[in-house]
Amino acid sequence: MAHKYIDNYREKGARKRLVEVLRKKGIEDERVLEAIGKIPRHYFFDETFWVQAYKDIAFPIGEGQTISQPYTVAYQTELLHIQKGDKVLEIGTGSGYQTCVLMELGAKVYTIERQEKLYDRAKWVLSAKMGYKANFFLGDGSIGIAAHAPYDKIIVTAGAPTVPDVLLKQLKVGGIIVIPVGNEDAQKMVTVLKTGDNDYEKIVLGTFRFVPLVGDRAW
Ligand code: SAM
């Protein structure tokens, strides 16, 4: 079915209400809320499911994967403290929606996805349809992307068994990684601040449920 990419008063109204829901759930960073208020999330859904796009839920995007719940996207983004010009590695492009949020905040994004169909679709929606200039990669992001390291920030959007050392090495000193860590049923959101070449400060936050990070340094 041809996708019309219409963003009218109905979608804009639903988006405004979603922003208020996220604010009530505790998202405080106005820049993150503004980005979510701006991006047409329904563009990442098949038209048949547009009505689902502004509910605060994760939703299937094919290949057994999901577009993350808006609250989760906002929560992870807030933890990254994105500054304009930050070089960000995103592991798990999925739909590309989180990529858009990062770019709206002024980040330069390198995003990697292991599922070819999702990689193709996200690249097409973001580049051809929405005009965002992210750097897309197809492959195993659990080993990072050494060729473009170091990064100011790294975000992992799938659940990992541990924080891969190789990703910590690809962070700049002063950089932050946000990654869900746990078993396949539930993960804790973990942030690690790199304070020196081999020094890290780790904070363990609330519980989430992500699809698994599958790869060489993952499941
Ligand atoms: N933030 C994304 C969004 O809103 O659409 C959600 C992505 S989804 C929860 C997680 C993605 O991570 C899936 O598309 C999955 O295929 C991908 N993934 C899992 N393991 C990966 C790996 N080792 N490298 C790259 N992508 C991976």
Q: Determine which residue's CA is closest to atom 14 belonging to ligand 1.
A: 94
Q: What is the pLDDT of residue 1?
A: 42
Rounded to the nearest angstrom, the distance between the alpha carbon of 172 and the centre of ligand 1 is: 23
Helix axes 9-24, 70-80, angle to 10 degrees: 60
Q: Determine which residue's CA is closest to atom 19 belonging to ligand 1.
A: 213
ipTM over 0.90: yes
Q: What is the mean pLDDT of each run of 10 residues along the chain (219 residues)?
A: 77 97 98 98 93 96 95 98 98 98 98 98 95 97 98 98 98 98 96 97 97 96
Angle among Cα 32, 33, 35 to the nearest 5 degrees reads 65
Domain boundaries, the chain: 61-208
The closest-lying atom of ligand 1 relative to the alpha carbon of residue 158 is: 10
Enumerate the active-site residues: 68
Question: How many C-beta neighbours within 10 Å does residue 117 have?
Answer: 12
pTM: 0.97
Q: Determine which residue's CA is closest to atom 2 belonging to ligand 1.
A: 94
Yes or no: say if 177 and 160 are a contact pair by the CB < 8 Å rule: no
Tell me if the domain spanning 61-208 has CATH number 3.40.50.150. yes
> What whole-number distance in Å separates Cα of residue 27 and Cα of residue 40?
19
Give phi and psi for 61, each to the nearest 5. Answer: -120, 15
Helices and strands (H, E) in the chain, number of each type:
6, 9
Rounded to the nearest angstrom, the distance between the alpha carbon of 90 and the centre of ligand 1 is: 9
